[in-house]
Amino acid sequence: MLLQVYCIFYFQFPTILGHCT
């Protein structure tokens, strides 16, 4: 759920907030 959103955020804007792991 949230992990997917974080993954997208990381792909769109690689920041400390976005962590796709």
Q: How far is CA 20 from its chain centroid?
A: 5
Whether the predicted model's global pTM rises above the 0.85 cut: no
Q: Which amino acid is at 11?
A: F
Given this model, what pLDDT does residue 5 score?
67
Given this model, what pLDDT does residue 3 score?
61
Neighbouring residues of 10: CB distance < 8 A, sequence distance ≥ 6: 18, 19, 20
Question: Over the stretch 1-21, which tens digit does the pLDDT of each residue have?
Answer: 556 666 666 666 666 555 555
Distances, alpha carbon 21 to alpha carbons 1, 6, 7, 11, in Å: 14, 9, 8, 12
Q: How far is CA 16 from its chain centroid?
A: 9
